[in-house]
Chain A
Amino acid sequence: MDLLQRFARGDLEAFEELFRQFHRDVRGWLARLTRDPAAADDLTVEVFWRIYRAHARFDPARSFGAWARQIASNAAIDHLRRAARERAAASFAPDPGPPDSAARRNLNVRIERAFLTLPPKLRVVADLAFVENWPQEEIAAALGISRSAVKARAFRAMNRLKVALKREGIE
């Protein structure tokens, strides 16, 4: 029986082998989506727990990597929602980062603040589409949504971002 079939039947050794093959990819994906490498280790554990819990629903004919990435995307969006609630409770101000010119630093803080007002589902698409310049097909595959959904989310993200930037005095 091959590795994916053994995993689908709940074999823990097969799961460990898949973990060893894919955890770096999943962790990198989580760090990228959440922009929080410090939280990526805990989230990776959470994602592989979710993956194991769903082993019976896994179709061995599918790509394990793509399936894992979709589960990781949902976990990342959950994390961003929690982080947004915590930020709202603590009236969070983004880290200004390394010293630059004061005006540029101030501008970047306002842009980041505007970016963080986007709902997690839109923020993830904005990040991949605008910051990382990913093609829509790849974003759709990675998030497990249709290309038209990516297009719609990118459009809404851009509009909301412009409104948020305007609120920050950037227009």
Chain B
Amino acid sequence: MIRTLSDEKTIELLREAVPAVAPGQPDADLWPAVKDRVIHGQGRPVTADLLLVVVLVLLCLLRPSLAAIVFLHF
């Protein structure tokens, strides 16, 4: 016979093993770090931006004549 846990028992076990986390307080004022990030724009590159770069590089490799047009935009 296959035994399976009931939903209620599964939830009970889960609450016991992984109780809710107390968020605590920030270690320091986070605003200077946020402001620095905003001003210097040190975000991770967006996937779409990376894809665009890959496409442009591939285009330039496949059709070198397009490279001049692409570089004209920089």
Contact = CB atoms under 8 A, between A and B. Distances in A.
A170 B16 CA distance: 14
Interface string A130-168: 111000000000000000000000000010011001100
B13 A170 contact: yes
Contacts of B38: 12, 15, 49, 52
B18 to A, nearest CB: 5
Contacts of B27: 41
Range of interface residues on chain B?
20 to 34
Nearest to B44: A46
Interface of A: 12, 15-16, 19-20, 23-24, 27-29, 31-32, 35-37, 40-41, 44-45, 48-50, 52-53, 107-109, 111-112, 115, 126-127, 130-132, 158, 161-162, 165-166, 170-171
9 contacts: A31-B23, A35-B18, A40-B23, A49-B38, A50-B43, A53-B43, A112-B17, A165-B10, A170-B13
Closest 7 CB pairs of A and B: A111-B17, A28-B23, A31-B23, A108-B17, A49-B37, A48-B34, A45-B33
Given A16-B35, A130-B14, A131-B15, 14 more contacts: A20-B31, A36-B21, A37-B21, A40-B23, A41-B26, A44-B30, A44-B34, A45-B37, A49-B38, A108-B16, A108-B17, A109-B17, A171-B3, A171-B4
Interface of B: 3-5, 7, 10-11, 13-28, 30-31, 33-35, 37-38, 43
